[in-house]
Each structure stands twice: as C-alpha cells, then as structure tokens.
Amino acid sequence: MRISTLFVLAAIASSPLRAEEPPAQAKDFIDAFQGLFGEHKGARKGHAKGVCAVGSFTGSAEAARLFTSPLFSGERRPAQIRFSMAGGNPAVPDATRSPRGLAAQFSLPDDRVHNIATLSTPVFGAATPESFLGLLRASLPGPDGKPDSAKLAAYRTAHPDTQAQFQWLQGNPPPWSYANAAYFGLHTFHFATAAGERAVRWRLQPRDGIRGLTDAELASAPADFLAARLSQQVASAPVQFDWIVTLGQPGDNESDPSRPWPSDRPELNAGTLTITAVGGDACTGLNFDPNVLSEGIRAGDDPILRMRSPAYAISFGKRLSGQ
C-alpha cells in the first residue's frame, strides 16, 4: 500500500492521567503549536523549517540474520529524507537550542513504505501527551509576547518528566551540521525475529562524528546555515549514519520516551543510511508518520507514539488545504 507522508510535530499520546488533567486530543497540539509559533499557512505545524534529501538504507548482515523485516534484508532501500528544526516557525534561526529532526520514508517491495521520525535528543520532552500539552501551554507567550519564565519553571518542577530533554539541550551545544548529530527514534518498537520478537530502541549515529557549535560559532552564526552546510558536505562525499539498535531486556520501560534505557544494553549495527543529494521538494508532500511500519516491525505501547498519527494527519490535512 502506498502511503504519502510528512513531518510535523515531535510527539504526543495518552497514559495514566493526573486527576486534574483531561485526556489530550490531537487537535490540542495543533492549536498549541500555532499559539506558540504563530499561523504559517501551508507550512508544517511542527518542524516547519527543513530541507529535503535523497538517499538509501542498506541493512547489515547481522540485522538480516536476526530480524525478519524486509527493511533489514540487506538490499538497498531508496529513501526520501527531511532534516529539520523543531517547532512551528519556518524562520527559526539555525543555532537555536532546540532539537533537530531527521525523518525518512523507505521504499519497500510491493509499493510499501516504512517511516521513521527522530530527534537529536536522546529523550522526548515529556512522558505523556497530557504532560507535553501542559508544557506547551505553559510556554505560550503572554501579552508582552514572551513566555512567563516563572510559570514555565513551576510547571517543570511539578512535572519532572519534562526536565530531562530540557537539561540535555542546555548541556549540549546545537549541532554544527545536520550531518554531525545523532538522531534517536525515542520510542520502543518490537522487531520480529525467527524466535519471536525483541523490544528495541534505536538511533542513527553519524559516521563523521558528533560536532557541536563552539561558543564563538554560536555568537556569530547566521540565521540560515544548516541546509547549505549539509549540501556542501554531501557534494564532497555521501553523508552516512549507522543505524544502531539497542536490544531491550525484561523490565525495560516501553511506554515512556522521556526516560532512556540503561546504557549497558547490548547494541548492534543494523545498517547504513546514506545521504547522496540535498535539496528539491521530493519530501514536501510526505507525511512521516512513524506508525507506518514495515512487516515484522510494530510499535510499542507508548501513548506519545500513538498520538503522533492523528496529530500528523491533522497537520498534513491543514497543509494540503493551505491552512
């Protein structure tokens, strides 16, 4: 089945609620993003600023032996890719301390596809859709056009699950290039094997290494440099990422993307994502819903992940209709 795709927000869903928290709805996130970033007709409501790229993924021999999904068969799978800045502002400066995104759609046999949507932070910004929605609302600007820093700090204190990503962003500089950041799948997925299933998390690790902007580069960075820098790198040589799969163990949390797994979990290199061209608009009409998966891969029980499908769909529909 052919499925057109896009990249929008960075996540959302449902889980045990606090007594004062009504269930979050997908439309709530679209409204919150527009309140935060303004109305930009025809633009993605999340990750509004980005650049298309073209490439392919080839699974490793180890992944082909272990996993049954055709994504990891070892054959070359063409990919449409989009690198992006988090948030709904299409003019956000490229040196902003916020997550970067990498979304991709892989073409599989019989017109099937597999989507991924990642962030450059190892954890998501909240544990549940309700907590994330509250964080967005606490960040809304007041009459002076600025968020209430005391209100936002109080919300983070009352919701500890919103602190890990924030602290990571404060402690790590923005990437020098889209090609020099690791990108995390954040959620737990289940990969089928000949013996059953394995719970996994994964990341895309840059072959050229992780490189952040220095303080001097941060102070002098132009508003737009990431797309051009990536294009220059790819013109010199293909940019590559290793798909590193972390194998979960019994008891590992599968429903909270704001919490990382223990660092001692076994890992394997499941293949290589190669970027061969940058630019154009091939990714513009795609909805990179990360719940669109190949045979042999299923989503874990993560309410944030579940919410992404309806939120992406609403945003995609608005974009297609020029809203």
Q: Which residues are annotated as a binding site for heme?
A: 312
- Give 112's strand partners: 108
Cβ burial, residue 44 (10 Å; 0-12/13-18/19+): buried
Active site residue 40: no
Beta-strand ranges (E) seen in the chain are 50-59, 76-85, 100-108, 112-119, 183-184, 189-193, 196-206, 239-247, 267-278, 297-299
Q: Which of 47, 114, 187, 190 is catalytic?
A: 47
Backbone angles phi, psi at 9, to 5 degrees: -75, -170
First to last CA, the chain: 27
Binding residue ranges: 312
CA distance 144 to 310: 33
Which of 104, 60, 103, 101 is closest to 78 using CA atoms? 104
Name the residues annotated as catalytic. Answer: 47
